[in-house]
Structure 1
Amino acid sequence: MIRAAVLALGCALGGPALALSCLPPDVAETYRRAAEAEETYIVAQGRLTFDPARLPSTDMIPQQKPAHTLIPARLTGQALTKSGFDQAFDRAITLDVQCFGPWCASAVPGTEYLGFLERRDGGYVLTVDPCGGMGHPDPTPAMLDKALECLQGGSCMRTRR
């Protein structure tokens, strides 16, 4: 009886372990990535709206998933200037939802986002991936302050969690 239980446990655990390991998302790190990129970025925070039925699903069944799912979206809030999040921002954007193998990013419509938006072809794109990407949902005042501090040339180091 014990041998059967051990054998069953061994079979259950004997397959390959699949896990995605990501560093916790950090506003300072995201800011530095955007600042060092060849592409042009703006920083905005606000409510993200889109059709959630267009999100790719996450499951461990091997299948062909697109690396990028482009979803029409809207971000309504404020863009960051040297004096803070004080410029009205209400625009149609593209939400670029990326998958890494079986893991896909997710987003929830109506959620507040701090987004680092890439300017592409006259519009803006917010890229999210399973490790966070260029968007931070439900930003805290400290996260917004860190983005402003980075823009103003202050300390732009990873914040401790």
Structure 2
Amino acid sequence: MPSMMHPIWLTAVLACAAEQAQALRCVAPDPLRTFSEIAAAPEDYYVLYGELTFDEAELPEGLRAMGAGLPAPIAAQFRGKGLTQAGFTSDYISPVTLQIDCMANYCGTAQSGIDALYFVRADPTPVTMVASPCREWIFPEPTQAVLDQLTACMQGGC
């Protein structure tokens, strides 16, 4: 009997390792690709540019244990602009929730007090900004060229 359990155990370990390795594969973050994805999504989204402030001491530190739940949401404040047909012209000042998302034992992160681009599901207030390990929802310090390209996309020119 032990000889049969060993291959099963080895297969289970290899399957978990393969699953973890696959879960950590991310495509290079690209705000234009994210814009295209949310434009095709059935849900509504906001594209926001501005400053998120929160207590960085609440961010999870290091690697988390496998199978651990998501870190607790972090209360934050956003001050910036929302994307419209005319560009980032709509004031958006609101309390928000920052949710750190994790895959395997790696978690996303965010920075307080810097200008960044946020793709946020248009849920009831407060909206939730998600910091994922693949960095597809938050783009720190985008260039003016990126902001201009997103405006062009909003106008149908992507």
1:115: Cα distance to partner? Answer: 0.8
In the alignment, which of 105, 110, 117 is matched to residue 102 of structure 1? 105
1:129 aligns with 2:132: yes
1:149 aligns with 2:152: yes
Superposition RMSD on alpha carbons, in Å? 2.1
Taking structure 2 as the reference length, the TM-score comes to 0.78
Task: Give the structure 2 partner of residue 11 of structure 1.
Answer: none
Aligned residues: 139
Question: Which is richer in helix?
Answer: 2
Q: What is the DSSP-based 3-state SS (H/G/I as helix, E as strand, rest coil) of the residue aligned with 1:142?
A: helix
1:65: Cα distance to partner? Answer: 2.7
Find the aligned partners of 1:34 and 1:127 in 2 and give their Cα distance: 14
Task: Give the structure 1 partner of residue 13 of structure 2.
Answer: none
Find the aligned partners of 2:52 and 2:36 in 1 and give their Cα distance: 23
Identity of aligned residues (%): 34
Task: Give the structure 2 partner of residue 43 of structure 1.
Answer: 47
1:92 aligns with 2:130: no
Task: Give the structure 2 partner of residue 31 of structure 1.
Answer: 35
1:68: Cα distance to partner? Answer: 5.4
Question: Which is richer in strand?
Answer: 1
1:62: Cα distance to partner? Answer: 3.7
Find the aligned partners of 1:55 and 1:112 in 2 and give their Cα distance: 18
Q: Which runs of no fewer than 5 residues in structure 2 stay unpaired?
A: 1-16
Which digits, 9 at most, give the CA deviation of each residue in 1:53-94, with x for residues without a partner?
2212232x6444323542111111111111111122211111
1:126: Cα distance to partner? Answer: 1.4
Q: Which runs of no fewer than 5 residues in structure 1 stay unpaired?
A: 1-15, 156-161
